[in-house]
Amino acid sequence: MPPGDPYSELASLRIERKEPKTSSGGRRLPWGWLVVLGALGGGGYVAYPRARQAIEERTMPEVPTAMVVKTGGPTTVLVGSGYVNAETDVVIGVTTGGRLMRRPIRKGDRVRRGQLLAQLDDSELRAQIDLAKAQLADADRTLKRAEMLREMKAGTEADYDKATSARDIARANIAVLDARIKQMRVLSPMDATVIETLAEPGEILMPAAAGQTVGKGSGIAKIADLRRTVVEVDVNEADVARIAVGQRADLSLDSHAGRQFAGRVLELARQADKAKATVQAKVLFEEPEAGILPGMSAKVQFRPKQVEKAEAPRIVMPKKALLPGGNAVFLVQGGKAVRRVVETKELVGAADTVEVVMGVGEGDLVATGELDRLTDGMTLPKKK
């Protein structure tokens, strides 16, 4: 360019920039790359335990386990199942035919002895008794005339006897009608609870024939004394000799999970069921509760006839299931290891077993090996 050219002068004033070098001679990394590398390093640090657990799960051998069990307590000689029933239940039926006018009771009601359960239509009988009373009054008048005539020697002894018989018949007729009217009132024979009602107002009821069961068409209600309830259980013929009246038993119900009720054998049937080859036993609840109702399923554990003092029941497990520190175990639930805090105490004369105070229960599975490799929530290998 010629001297004095303005473009040449501007170019001579430009400053050359060079890339800075690191101490190692390389180029310095931009700040953005440093941030990215830092994030990757931190993610690897966080992901490491998870990766380690995944590796452990894949390489973990089968974990040995043991069941937490219950020891001690009374022994059992026989176990049976049956259903709760009232010791005494009655189906109340009518003793004479008629239309049901009132039934002032409902299912679940408590009734007292002598309380009205049902009223049949007695309007026709009351009309008949009014007629019978009028006939009695006429018979009384006839008898008085016959007696006066006999005293006056104007009547015969036969007329007097006839009038007396007519009066007595009229009285008896009234007594019969009174009894029939009372039959129209169905009363409770005992203190009880209404278990079931069998008829509704307006129905025509007739007494059950001899040998027939009282039910629909003849019955009013089924009542039971729930203050004394029993479990009716069928016992195999081969086991009957192991049971006796008065023998102790423990009763448990699905409706009262986790609880046991004291009972005793109240009755053994005097006849076996040929079809099932069983004998029915009735086991009485010694302290029944309001929630124990007829029809509930129950399990009966019969105790020995001569009960010796039993060792106190307790929950135990292997000592080797305890983690370092002795206050936790790994439960095996749903194919996973679940860490559970426990409280235990030593057993005298049992170096390999501890008693469980709290934390796990009877029937739980606890890991007894590979404890140093287990973590809470780890998936365990399936048993082969």
Q: Which of 120, 112, 133 is nearest to 202 (CA)?
A: 120
**Residue 368 phi, psi dihedral angles, 5° rounding:** -120, 5
**DSSP character string of 310-346:** PPPPEEEEEGGGSPTTSSEEEEEETTEEEEEE-EEEE
Q: Where are the domains of the chain?
A: 59-72+311-373, 78-87+230-302, 90-223
Rounded Cα distance, 162 and 143, in Å:
8
pLDDT at 383: 64
Phi-psi region of 208 (alpha: psi -120 to 50; beta: other; left: phi over 0): beta
> Which pLDDT tens digits describe the chain residue by residue (384 residues)?
455 554 454 445 555 555 555 444 445 545 454 444 444 454 444 445 565 556 666 667 888 888 887 776 666 678 889 999 998 889 999 999 999 999 999 999 999 999 999 999 999 999 999 999 999 999 999 999 998 988 888 878 888 899 999 999 999 999 999 999 999 999 999 999 999 999 999 999 999 887 778 888 889 999 999 889 999 999 999 888 889 999 999 999 988 887 889 999 999 999 999 998 999 999 999 987 878 888 999 999 998 876 555 567 788 999 999 999 999 999 999 889 999 999 999 988 778 899 999 999 888 999 999 899 899 999 988 765
**CATH code 1.20.1250.20 for 78-87+230-302:** no
3-class SS string, 122-133: CHHHHHHHHHHH
AA identity, residue 220: I
Q: Architecture of 59-72+311-373 per CATH?
A: Beta Barrel (2.40)
pLDDT at 1: 47
pLDDT at 3: 53
Enter the tokens of residue 326: 């002795």
DSSP for residue 256: G
pLDDT at 307: 52
Q: How far apart are the first and last CA of the chain?
A: 92
Enter the tokens of residue 66: 């043991």
**CATH code 2.40.50.100 for 90-223:** yes
pLDDT at 66: 86
Q: What is the helix (H) or strand (E) element at residue 162, kind and residue range?
A: helix 157-183
Rounded Cα distance, 300 and 20, in Å:
91
Q: What is the helix (H) or strand (E) element at residue 32, kind and residue range?
A: helix 31-59
pLDDT at 56: 61
